[in-house]
Amino acid sequence: MEETISLKELFQVLRKRWLMIVGITGIAAIASAIISFYFMTPVYQASTQILVNPKQASDTALVKSDDVRLSLQLINTYKGVLTSPVILDEVAKGLELNMKGTQLAKNVSVASEQESQILTVNVMNTSPKLAEQIANKLAEVFQTQISSIMKIDNVTILAKAEPAAELSPVKPRPLLNVAIAMVVGLMSSIGLSFLIEYMDNSIKKEQELETVLGIPLLGAVAQMTETKEKAAPAAVQVGGKAVGS
Judge residue 244's burial from the number of C-beta atoms within 10 Å of its C-beta, 0-12 exposed, 13-18 middle, 19 or more buried: exposed
What angle is formed at CA 169 by the lines to CA 75 and CA 138, rounded to 5 degrees?
A: 35
27 Cβ contact list (under 8 Å, min separation 6) = 185
| Mean per-residue pLDDT, 3-32 | 88
pLDDT at 8: 81
In 3D space, the residue among 123, 126, 125, 130 whose CA is nearest the CA of residue 50 turns out to be 123
Comparing 202 with 101, the larger pLDDT belongs to: 101
Angle, helices 7-16 vs 174-199, to 10°: value is: 110
For residues 131-143, give the mean pLDDT.
Answer: 94
- At 233 the pLDDT is 55
> What backbone torsions phi and psi does residue 118 show, to the nearest 5 degrees?
-100, 130
3-class SS at 243?
Answer: strand
Residue 141 neighbours by CB distance under 10 Å: 19
Q: DSSP label at 166?
A: G
pTM: 0.67
The listed CATH number (3.10.440.10, 3.30.70.1130, 3.30.930.10, 2.60.120.10) that belongs to domain 43-171? 3.30.70.1130
**CA distances (Å), origin 133, targets 50, 61, 122:** 16, 35, 12
Spell out the domain ranges in the chain: 8-39+173-199, 43-171
Report how far residue 155's alpha carbon sits from residue 144's, in angstroms, rounded to the nearest whole number.
Answer: 9
pLDDT band at 75 (very low <50, low <70, confident <90, very high): confident
Residue 174: cis peptide before it, omega within 30 degrees of 0: no
Q: Where are the alpha helices (DSSP H) in 44-104?
A: 65-73, 75-82, 85-94, 101-104
pLDDT at 207: 67
Residues 6+ away with beta carbon under 8 Å from 8:
none
pLDDT of residue 58: 44
Rounded percentage of the chain residues whose pLDDT exceeds 70:
73
Q: What is the pLDDT of residue 9?
A: 79
Q: For the chain, report the end-to-end CA distance as a whole number of angstroms.
A: 62
Measured CA angle at 12 (ends 11, 16), to 5 deg: 115
